Amino acid sequence: MTKNIVVIGSTNVDKVLNVERYAQPGETLSVDAPQGVKGGGKGANQAIAAARSGAQTTFISKLGTEGNADFMVEGFKEDGINTDSLIWTDKYETGQAYITVEASGQNTIYVYGGANMAMTPADVDQLGEVIGQADTIIAQLEIPTDTIIEAFRIAREHGVKTILNPAPAKQLPEQLIVLTDIIVPNETEAALLSGIEVTDEQSLMDNAHYFFDKGIQSVIITLGDKGSFYASADDHGIVKPQKVTNVVDTTAAGDTFIGALSTRLADDLSNLTTAMAYASKASALTIQTQGAQNSIPTTAQIEAVYGEMN
């Protein structure tokens, strides 16, 4: 059955530089030709990942009317994303991200929130019917927290599953935690939230119990090339990663994982490890291509490499 996914979050215009290595403080380095302007934002990335994995996807985001994001909106439409719930403002520019990608594939990102940070609970209230009809809603922390709380409140009232990607990591208010069904940080974000460094499976369980004690019932922690960890009240484990020998750019790996995951999860999470394995395959393809949104694979591309999946 095709999933109805709503993603609420950020849209950024990415400005990307490729470098051999990062400059030291006070050092000047020359760079090759920049990649130029590309589409980004964690919300946009996750919406594209969900759409390319076959979900009926609606994206809720706030954009500036200055035109910087027009090419992205056209791209959303080409991917089949419902753009009717995009919100426009002439008071702020569309969000922007400045990304430096090292030769190893690692990256650093500096974000200007712009219109993303101007999205309000009142904006969300006008889209209550859209949220209420979804199977799952996904949010990140590149929009105001009170806006996410309002979206998750509406979702909870309608029995819609909520997935929170706490990135960039910051302390979460109780009102948001109690409305979150599944939390999906990476290992760094988990440690920043819990204060427990991830070093082994026991420390992963300690992190999970931190979130359980806060009221979240399901925890997934992505571990990069070590796979992904999951824990619920009655089960836990690690889903092994796909082996990748030619890592090019990790920019959208986590977003791809979350968007792809949401399209395969059963309502009762009974197929959690299968859904995580699918998401891992999607991420493995993402990191082998330069760029963010252009690197996010479709189901057909995933199955061409790894075989047909349920």
By annotation, the residues acting in catalysis are: 255
Is 12 a known ligand-binding residue? yes
Question: Is residue 42 within 8 Å of residue 73, measured between CB atoms?
Answer: no
**Is 113 a known ligand-binding residue?**
no
222 is in an annotated binding site: yes
Question: Does 197 carry a binding-site annotation?
Answer: no
Strands 95-102 and 12-19: parallel
The answer to whether 44 is a known ligand-binding residue is yes
The answer on whether 291 is annotated among ligand-binding residues is yes
DSSP character at residue 294:
G
The residues, ordered by sequence, that sit 6+ positions from 278 with a Cβ below 8 Å of its Cβ are 53, 260, 261, 264, 302, 309
Q: Provide the total of helices (H) and of strands (E) in the chain, helices listed first.
A: 11, 14
Q: Is 213 annotated as a binding residue?
A: no
Q: Is 289 annotated as a binding residue?
A: yes
Name every residue whose Cβ is closer than 8 Å to that of residue 267 and which is 6 or more positions away in sequence. Answer: 135, 161
Which residues fall within 8 angstroms of residue 21, CB to CB, at 6 or more apart?
29, 102, 103
DSSP calls for 107-147: EEEEEE-GGGGG--HHHHHTTHHHHHT-SEEEE-SSS-HHH
On whether 294 is known to bind a ligand per the annotation, the reply is no
43 is in an annotated binding site: yes
Q: Is 227 annotated as a binding residue?
A: yes
Question: Of how many residues is the chain composed?
Answer: 310
234 belongs to an annotated ligand binding site: no
**H or E element at residue 189:** helix 187-194
Per the annotation, does 251 bind a ligand? yes
Cβ-based neighbours of 302, under 8 Å, separated by 6 or more: 53, 278, 281, 282, 285, 309
Does 165 appear as a known binding residue? no
Cβ atoms of 37 and 13 closer than 8 Å: yes
114 is in an annotated binding site: no
20 burial (CB, 10 Å; 0-12 / 13-18 / 19+) is exposed
The owner of tokens 């977003």 is 255
User: Is position 254 annotated in a ligand binding site?
Assistant: yes
Q: Determine if residue 186 is labeled as part of a ligand binding site.
A: yes
Residue 118 contacts residue 35 (beta carbons within 8 Å): no
Which residue ranges are tagged as binding site?
Answer: 12-14, 41-45, 142, 186, 222-227, 249, 251, 254-255, 286, 289, 291, 295
Which residue ranges are tagged as binding site for ATP?
Answer: 186, 222-227, 254-255
Which residue ranges are tagged as binding site for substrate?
Answer: 12-14, 41-45, 142, 255
Which residue ranges are tagged as binding site for K(+)?
Answer: 249, 251, 286, 289, 291, 295
